[in-house]
Amino acid sequence: MTALIEAPIAAAERPTRPRDVFLPTGSRSTSRLAKLRKRLSWPLGIYTTPLAILVLWEILAETKILKPTYAPAPTSIAHTAVDLWNRGVLGPDLAVSLRRAAIGLALGLSVGVVIGVIGGLLRTGEYLFNGVVQIFNTIPLLAVLPVMIVWFGIDETPKILVIAFGAFVPMYLNLFAAIRGVDQRLIEMARTTGAGTWRLVTRVLVPGALPGFLVGLRFSLAYSILGLVAAETINADKGLGFMITQGETYLQTNQVYVGLVIYSILGLLADQIVRILERVLLRWRPSYEAS
Partner 1 sequence: MTTAVQANATVEKVIRRFGERVVLDQLDLAIGHEELVVLLGPSGCGKSTLLRLLAGLDRPDGGRVEVPTKRAVVFQADRLLPWQRVVRNVSLGLRGPDATTKARHTLAEVGLAGRENAWPKQLSGGEAQRVALARALVSEPELVLLDEPFAALDAITRLRMHDLVRNLRRNHHAAMLLVTHDVDEAIALADRIVVMSAGRIGSSHDVTLSAADRESSIAREHLRAALLADLGLAVNH
Among the listed residues 18, 45, 140, 286, the single contact to partner 1 using CB under 8 A: 286
CA distance 101 to 284: 32
Residues 175-234 that bind partner 1 (CB under 8 A): 185-186, 188-195, 199, 203-204, 207-208, 210
Could you tell me the CA-to-CA distances from 264 to 78, 222, 267, 283 in Å, in that order? 14, 11, 5, 28
Among the listed residues 35, 67, 99, 285, the single contact to partner 1 using CB under 8 A: 285
Query: How many other CB atoms are there within 10 angstroms of residue 183's CB atom?
Result: 10
Closer to partner 1 at the Cβ: 195 or 261?
195
- Give the shortest CB-214-to-partner 1 separation in angstroms: 13
Number of chain residues interacting with partner 1 (CB under 8 A): 21
Closer to partner 1 at the Cβ: 188 or 289?
188
Closer to partner 1 at the Cβ: 20 or 188?
188
Greatest alpha-carbon pair distance for the chain in Å reads 97
- Dihedral over Cα of 134, 135, 137, 138: its sign: positive
- Angle of the 123-138 helix axis to the 156-180 helix axis, nearest 10: 130
Q: Residue 15 has what DSSP assignment?
A: G
Residues 253-282 that bind partner 1 (CB under 8 A): 282
142 three-class SS: helix
Closer to partner 1 at the Cβ: 13 or 188?
188
Closer to partner 1 at the Cβ: 35 or 285?
285
Q: Catalog residues that contact partner 1 under the rule CB under 8 A.
A: 185-186, 188-195, 199, 203-204, 207-208, 210, 282-286
